[in-house]
């Protein structure tokens, strides 16, 4: 496995993307930095991380013939890998908040940003960006954010945590899983935050409503059971899970 360690870079996702274009990299090549200056988050947000404290890294997965319409399958593989890695580290009360935040005891400890390089409608390469709060102790009073150290009271070795995650990515981000969407969805559903529990959502007009998370559709939409036994599917831009 090839690990490229950088003292500082704007975004490991961006760095890996440039490398993919200019060189022939092995599958699961990793770019990790101690100091990510302009980390990117979901939906155009920023990912902030105190230098030297956390893991901010990107992993190359070469395409397995996946259509871009099926890209959520990859998110599920990555979520399962992270969940199992964190379980191995004895992090309590883990859950995956759809679409791809990893929570411990209702607080976010890890975010995932997957960016794809396409050829036509097929994914040629995926850049799996992961930000994991490891040893950072303060998050500027951001609500519901935590780190492994805050949860466990101990300092973690960043290289060791990274290695465990890479091993789990190699286990889950495979052709076998990607070609078995039903099995993948069943596994993902088991680890989903608030699955089958009464939950409150906000729609994109700001209205609150109640429902039960039932799982994800084949295209990665959230399946919610609403009043009157109606099932509805929502994409990321249409809904926010509040609690
Ligand atoms: C999110 O929860 O909004 C996703 C955060 C993803 C952050 C990681 S850190 C490493 C990689 N490089 C980036 O610029 N972003 C991802």
Q: What is the 3-state secondary structure (H, E, C) of 69-138?
A: HHCHHHHHHHHHHHHHHHHHCCCCCEEEECCCEEEECCEEEEEEEEEEEEECCEEEEEEEEEEECCCCCC
Name the least confident of 77-86, 129-138, 198-207: 198-207
Name the CA dihedral angle for 33, 158, 114, 171, rounded to a multiple of 10 degrees: 140
Residue 170 is encoded by which pair of tokens? 């190699």
Span 185-200, average pLDDT:
96
Task: Look at residues 224, 212, 186, 201 and name the one whose alpha carbon lies nearest to residue 234.
Answer: 224
DSSP state of 43: G
Please work out whether the CB of residue 99 comes within 6 Å of at least one atom of ligand 1: no
Span 97-116, average pLDDT:
96
Shared domain for 204 and 183, answered yes or no, is no
Shared domain for 53 and 101, answered yes or no, is yes
Domain boundary among 174, 190, 206: 190
Looking at the predicted structure, is the pLDDT value of residue 1 above 80? no
Looking at the predicted structure, is the pLDDT value of residue 182 above 70? yes
- ipTM reported for the complex, 2 dp: 0.99
Percent of the chain with pLDDT over 90: 93
Centre of ligand 1 to C-alpha 227, Å, is 36
Residue to mutate, 20, 40, 79, 165, ligand 1, most ligand atoms under 8 Å from C-beta: 40
Residue 160 is encoded by which pair of tokens? 């060791």
Span 87-115, average pLDDT:
96
CATH of the domain at 61: 3.30.930.10
Please work out whether the CB of residue 51 comes within 6 Å of at least one atom of ligand 1: no
Span 6-19, average pLDDT:
98
Shared domain for 16 and 111, answered yes or no, is yes
Centre of ligand 1 to C-alpha 23, Å, is 23
Residue range 38-93, pLDDT digits in tens: 999 998 999 999 999 999 999 999 999 999 999 999 999 999 999 999 999 999 99
Task: Look at residues 20, 6, 29 and name the one whose alpha carbon lies nearest to residue 169.
Answer: 29
Q: Measured between alpha carbons, how far is 148 from 165 in angstroms, rounded to an integer?
A: 14
Task: Look at residues 221, 219, 211 and name the one whose alpha carbon lies nearest to residue 242.
Answer: 211
Shared domain for 165 and 222, answered yes or no, is no
Residue nearest to atom 3 of ligand 1 (CA): 41
Span 197-208, average pLDDT:
93
Please work out whether the CB of residue 201 comes within 6 Å of at least one atom of ligand 1: no
Task: Label residue 211 exposed, middle or buried (CB < 10 Å: 0-12, 13-18, 19+).
Answer: buried
- Ligand 1: atom nearest CA of 130 is 8
Q: What is the pLDDT of residue 137?
A: 98
Shared domain for 96 and 178, answered yes or no, is yes
Please work out whether the CB of residue 29 comes within 6 Å of at least one atom of ligand 1: no
């Amino acid at each position: 496995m090839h690990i490229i360690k950088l003292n500082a870079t704007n975004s490991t996702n961006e760095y890996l993307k440039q490398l993919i274009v200019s060189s022939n990299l092995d599958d699961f090549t990793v770019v990790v930095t101690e100091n990510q200056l302009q980390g990117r988050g979901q939906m155009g947000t920023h990912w902030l991380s105190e230098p030297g404290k956390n893991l901010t890294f990107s992993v190359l997965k070469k395409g397995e013939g996946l259509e871009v319409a099926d890209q959520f399958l990859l998110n599920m593989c990555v979520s399962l890998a992270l969940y199992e890695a964190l379980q191995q580290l004895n992090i309590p009360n883990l859950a995956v908040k759809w679409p791809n935040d990893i929570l411990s005891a209702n607080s976010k400890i890890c975010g995932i940003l997957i960016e794809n390089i396409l050829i036509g409608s097929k994914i040629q390469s995926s850049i799996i960006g992961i930000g994991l709060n490891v040893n950072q102790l303060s998050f500027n009073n951001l609500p519901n954010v935590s780190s492994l150290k805050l949860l466990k009271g101990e300092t973690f070795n960043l290289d060791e945590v990274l290695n465990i995650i890479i091993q789990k990515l190699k286990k889950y981000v495979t052709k076998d899983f990607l070609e078995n969407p039903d099995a993948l969805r069943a596994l993902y559903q088991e680890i989903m935050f608030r699955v089958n529990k009464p939950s409150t959502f906000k729609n994109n007009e700001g209205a609150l409503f109640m429902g039960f998370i039932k799982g994800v559709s084949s295209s990665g939409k959230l399946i919610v059971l609403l009043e009157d036994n109606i099932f509805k599917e929502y994409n990321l831009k249409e809904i926010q899970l509040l609690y």
